[in-house]
Amino acid sequence: MKILLTGGAGYIGSHVLNLLGQAGHDIVVVDNLSTGRKESLLYGRHEEFSLEETGKLEELLKKENFEACLHFVGSIIVPESVEKPLKYYQNNTTNSLNLIELCVKYKINRFIFSSTAALYGDSAPGGICTEETQVVPINPYGRSKMMTEFMLEDTAKATDLNYVALRYFNVAGANVDLKIGQCSPNSTHLIKIASECAAGKRDKMAIFGTDYDTSDGTCVRDYIHVDDLAQAHVDALKFLEKDAESAVLNCGYGHGYTVKEVIETVKKVTGVDFPVGIEGRRAGDAGTLISRAEKIREVLGWTPKYDDLDLIVRTAFEWEKQL
C-alpha cells in the first residue's frame, strides 16, 4: 500500500515504520526532525518539513496517490501542555485539522490516529477505562487530542474517510533488535528517566506524588511495549483495508503498575541502585489509568507479545546504554 506516515522519525512512528517497511509497503515519511532522529528512519522516503507548511503538504498529496495516512506528529508532554497550551492546540489540533482536510480532498480514505489515554482524565471508575468511558481530559494535551478525535468522528460521518483512533496508554521499551528506541530529547517519561539513572546519565530522579488513592500512593499506569503498540497499527491498517469502517480502540494490556513498582523493577532488572526523591504531584497527572483491553483484540485480532514489565524495562535500558 502507498502510505503517508507523519512523524516517522519519532519514538512510536519509527517502530511502526519498521514493521510496515518490513511488510513491503511504499512509505513516505513527513517529519521535521524537531524531536525525531534521521537514523530512526529505517524504511521509506523522507520529506523534511513541518505539518504547518500546508503548501508543501498539499504538493505532496497532490503528487502521490496515497491510500492511507498514519498520523503520529504531535506534542506529548503533559506538564509542558499545562505551561504552553497553545503549542499543543497548534501541533495536535490545528495541524491535524489541516491534514484531515487534505486527506478528504485527495481521497485518502484510511486514517490512523495516535490518540491517548489522557482523554479519560480521572473519569473512569477505579481508573479502568473502557472505550465508552466518558472523555474528560484534565490537561491541554488530552484536550488537544480529543478535539482531533471529534473531528475524525464527524468527518467519517460526512465523507468516505474511515479512521482508527488508537488510544495509547503508557508506551515504553525499545525494539527488541535495539535498532530503534525512545530518543526524544528531555523526555519526561518514567521508564526512560529511570533507565537514564541506571545507565549513569542522570544522578537521581523523583517520584511525583505519593498521596494518590492507590496501593502505595503513587500513580498507576498501564505500560505497553512499543513493538506491541506498533503491531496494533499494522492490524488497524488491515482492518481499514478489509472492513472500511471506523473504530476507537484502547491500546494497553489491561493491568497497571505504580511508579514505585516501576522504579523497583528498573533497579532489579539493571542491578543498579540510584537515589529516588519524593516531590509533590505533577500538574495534569491522573491517579490511575488502566486500559480495558478486550475491544482491540476483538476488532483487530491484536495479540500482544511483550506483556512483561521486566522485558519492557530491559529493552529500554539496553537501548539507553548504547544511545
Cβ distance to ligand UD1 smaller for residue 51 or 205: 205
Name which position in 43, 72, 169, 253 contacts ligand UD1 (CB under 6 A): 169
* Residue number, 163 or 208, with CB nearest to ligand UD1: 208
Total binding residues toward ligand UD1, as defined by CB under 6 A: 23
Binding letters toward ligand UD1, positions 246-285, x by CB under 6 A? -------------x----------------------x--x
Which range, of 35-43, 59-67, 76-84, 89-97, touches ligand UD1 by CB under 6 A?
76-84
Task: Report how far residue 185's alpha carbon sits from residue 194's, in angstroms, rounded to the nearest whole number.
Answer: 15
Amino acid identity, position 85: P
- Copy the grid coordinates of residue 78: 503533559
Closest distance of CB 7 from ligand UD1, Å: 13
Q: The C-alpha cell of 131 is what?
A: 472505550
| Tally of residues, the chain | 323
Q: Is 205 in the site for ligand UD1 (CB under 6 A)?
A: yes
CA distances from 136 to 75, 142, 146, 163, 253 (A): 19, 8, 9, 21, 22
b/e map 192-213, b = 16+ CB within 10 Å: bbbbbbbbeeeeebebbbbebe
- Check binding of 206 to ligand UD1 (CB under 6 A): yes
- Catalytic-role residue among 11, 120, 141, 306: 141
C-alpha cell at 202: 542522570
Which residues form the interface with ligand UD1 (CB under 6 A)? 76-78, 116-118, 168-170, 188-190, 193, 205-208, 219, 221, 259, 282, 285, 289
